[in-house]
Amino acid sequence: MEAAWATSAAIIITVTVAVIWAWRILNRLWLRPKRLERLLREQGLKGNPYRVLVGDLKDIAKIQKEARSKPMNLSDDIVPCVYSHVQQSVKKYGKNSIMWFGPIPRVTLTDPELIKEVFNKIYDFPKPDINPLVKLLAIGLANHEGEKWRKHRRIINPAFNLEKLKIMLPVFFNSCNDLISKWEGMLSLDGSCEMDVWPFLQNLTSDAISRTAFGSSYEEGRRIFELQKEQASLIIKVVVKSFIPGWRFLPTTTHRRVKQIHRVIKASLTDMINKREKAIKAGEASKNDLLGILLESNHKEIQEQGSDKNVGMNIEDVIEECKLFYFAGQETTSVLLVWTMVLLSRYPDWQARARDEVLQVFGNKKPDFDGLSHLKIVTMVLYEVLRLYPPVLAIPRTIQKDMKLGNLALPAGVQFSLPIVLLHHDCELWGDDAKEFNPERFSEGVLKATNGRVSFFPFGWGPRTCIGQNFSMLQAKMALSLILQHFSFELSPAYAHAPVQMITLQPRYGAHIILRKVEI
C-alpha cells in the first residue's frame, strides 16, 4: 500500500513539474510575446509578426550576411553595411519600429526627445540583463544599476578627474612615442612605408591602458588583454544562439574555452590586487595608476562609511572594474584612432589643417596637457570621426514595469535600442551632408552642432555618460598629435573599406596606409 502511495505521489509530482515547465515555456515563447505584440501595435508601433522562438533573428542574420558579402565603395555612408537590418526595419515600418530578438521585442527609438527621456530616467529605463557568457568578458560600472551603480561611480570618479589624467599624460606620451619610433624604423630610404596601421594602433592603446591601469605590472596587463580579445571573439559566436533555451549550459568547446579564459584572467587580477592591498596596508605610497587610485578611493569610502559589508567594493567588484576599463578603454581609443587615420588619409586638406594646428601649438616639442586641451581642429576632426564611425552602434535599454514614454504607454518586458549610428547619419538631424566627412560642423562645439538635441552620443549621454570619455579623448589627441608631427599619410591601393561590428566598429581587412616622413 505504501509503495503504491509513493508511486502515485511520484507520478503526481512529476506531472506537476512537467506541467509547470510546459506552462513556463509556452508563456515565454508564445503567450507573453503575443501579448506584448498586441500592446505595442495598439500604440501604433509596427514590425514583423512574432515568430516563435527565433523572432527576426534568422532574417537579421540573412540581411547582415548579404550586406557583408557586397563590396563597399569608399564611402562614409556605412549604415547599409553595418546596420542594414535596423535600417530596413525603419524604412519599412517607421522610425519607431519593432524587431524581435527571439521572444523579446525591441523598439528602435530615433526621436531625440524620447532618447533624451530614456537617458535621463536611468532608474526607469535600465540596461537589460546581459548573457551570462558576456558577463565573463566584463561587467562593472557600465552594467550596474541603482545603488550599486551610484556607489561604484562615486568610488571610480577620482581615477578619471583631470588632475589624475594630467599625471597619466607622460605614460600616454611614452606609449605613443614608442609607436612613432617603430614606424620611423620601418621607413625605406625615400622616407616612406606601406603598412597596416590597425594592429599597431591596437598595440599602442593596449600598451597605454596597461601602463595607466596597472603601472609596473603592465606586462601582466597586456597578457590579460590578449586573453580578453580571444574571449570577445568567442563570445560573438555564441551570443547569436543565446535565445535557444538551455544553449548556454551545453559544454561546447567554445563555452569551455570562454570559461577557462575567465578563470585565468580572474586569477591574474586577483594576484595583482592582493599585492597592491598588502602594499597599501604596509604603508607604501599609492601609485598613480588606475588600479592604485581605485583601491585608494575604495579604502577611503570604507573608512568614511563604516565596515558594513555593503560599503565599498569587494575584490570581485574591483576585478570586474579592472576588466571593464581595460577592455573598453583599449577598444574605444584604438577604433577612434584607426578611423581617424583612414578619414584623414582620404581628406588631405583636413589632415594638413590638423597638422598645421599641431605644429603651431607644439612645433616639434612634446605635446602637453594645456596644448592638447586647446586643439580646436583636432577636436573637430575626432568628433566628426565619432559621428560617422561610432565605436558602438547602439545602446540597449529595457522596461521592467509598465512605463510611459512620451505618448507611448509601454509594457514591462520590452527593450529599446538607441541606434547611435542611425542618428549620427540622419539627414533630418545633420543636414544634406550628414553622410559626408565635414568636421566644420563642430567648429562651435557639440551643443551648436546638434542644436541642443540628443543626436550625438558616441559615449552615451546624461547621468551615465561614459566615465572614460576624457581619458579616451586625451589619449587620442596625444597619439594623433605625435603622428601628425612626424608623418603624412594616405590610403594604400591595398586598402579595402569594410567596417564591421566586432563588439566595436572595426576595419575588417585592416587599414593599409602609406606613411611619409614629415620634415619640420
Instruction: State pLDDT tens for residues 76-89.
Output: 999 999 999 999 99
Q: Specify the pLDDT at position 218.
A: 75
**Is there a contact between 224 and 207 (Cβ–Cβ < 8 Å)?**
no
- pLDDT for 284-336, tens place per residue? 766 778 888 888 888 888 888 766 667 889 888 888 888 888 778 888 999 99
Give one DSSP letter per residue of 389-416, joined into a string.
Answer: S-SSS-EEEE-SS-EEETTEEE-TT-EE
**pLDDT band of 400, cuts 50, 70, 90:** very high
Q: Specify the pLDDT at position 455.
A: 97
Q: Write down the mean pLDDT value for the chain.
A: 90
Q: Specify the pLDDT at position 259.
A: 87
- pLDDT for 144-195, tens place per residue? 888 889 999 998 998 888 888 899 999 999 999 999 999 999 999 999 999 9
For residue 105, give the H/E element and its range.
Answer: strand 104-108
Residue 146's φ and ψ, nearest 5 degrees, are 60, -140
Residue 460 DSSP code: B
Q: Specify the pLDDT at position 231.
A: 86
Q: Specify the pLDDT at position 363.
A: 94
Alpha-carbon span 518 to 354, nearest angstrom: 14
Q: From 139, 326, 324, 300, select the one nearest 217 (Cα to Cα).
A: 326
Question: What share of residues in the chain are helix, strand, coil (percent, to 5)?
Answer: 60, 10, 30
Provide the greatest CA pair distance for the chain: 100
Q: Specify the pLDDT at position 246.
A: 61
What torsion do the CA atoms of 113, 128, 229, 323 make, to the nearest 10 degrees? 100
Report the percent of the chain where pLDDT is more than 70.
95
Block residue for cell numbers 616622413: 517
Sheet hosting strand 97-101, strand order edge to edge:
46-47, 97-101, 104-108, 415-418, 395-398
Residue 474 clears pLDDT 90, i.e. is over it: yes
Residue 451 clears pLDDT 90, i.e. is over it: yes
Residue 366's φ and ψ, nearest 5 degrees, are -65, 125
C-alpha cell read off for 113: 526627445
**pLDDT band of 2, cuts 50, 70, 90:** low
Average pLDDT of the segment spanning 500-507: 91
Residue 283 clears pLDDT 70, i.e. is over it: yes
- pLDDT for 203-226, tens place per residue? 999 899 888 888 867 788 788 878
**pLDDT band of 61, cuts 50, 70, 90:** confident
- pLDDT for 343-359, tens place per residue? 999 999 999 999 999 99
Alpha-carbon span 395 to 164, nearest angstrom: 29
> What is the SS3 string spanning 211-231?
HHHHHHHHHHHHHHHHHHHHH
Block residue for cell numbers 535565445: 243
Judged by average pLDDT, the poorest of 33-37, 106-110, 240-244, 386-390 is: 240-244
DSSP, collapsed to helix, strand or coil, labels residue 75 as coil
Question: What residues form DSSP beta bridges with 505?
Answer: 501
The residue ranking higher by pLDDT, 201 or 295, is: 201
Residue 141 clears pLDDT 80, i.e. is over it: yes
- Region label for 414, one of left (φ > 0), alpha (ψ between -120 and 50) or beta (otherwise): beta
Residue 18 clears pLDDT 80, i.e. is over it: yes
Q: Specify the pLDDT at position 4.
A: 67
For residue 280, the one-letter residue type is I
Which runs of consecutive H residues, i.e. helices, occur in 288-419? 290-305, 315-346, 348-362, 369-373, 376-388
Residue 193's φ and ψ, nearest 5 degrees, are -165, 140
Pairing outcome for strands 395-398 and 97-101? unpaired
C-alpha cell read off for 320: 570586474
Q: From 90, 121, 74, select the one nearest 454 (Cα to Cα).
A: 121
Question: What residues form DSSP beta bridges with 405?
Answer: 408
Residue 125 clears pLDDT 90, i.e. is over it: yes
For residue 152, give the H/E element and its range.
Answer: helix 146-156
Alpha-carbon span 424 to 456, nearest angstrom: 6
**Is there a contact between 41 and 89 (Cβ–Cβ < 8 Å)?**
no
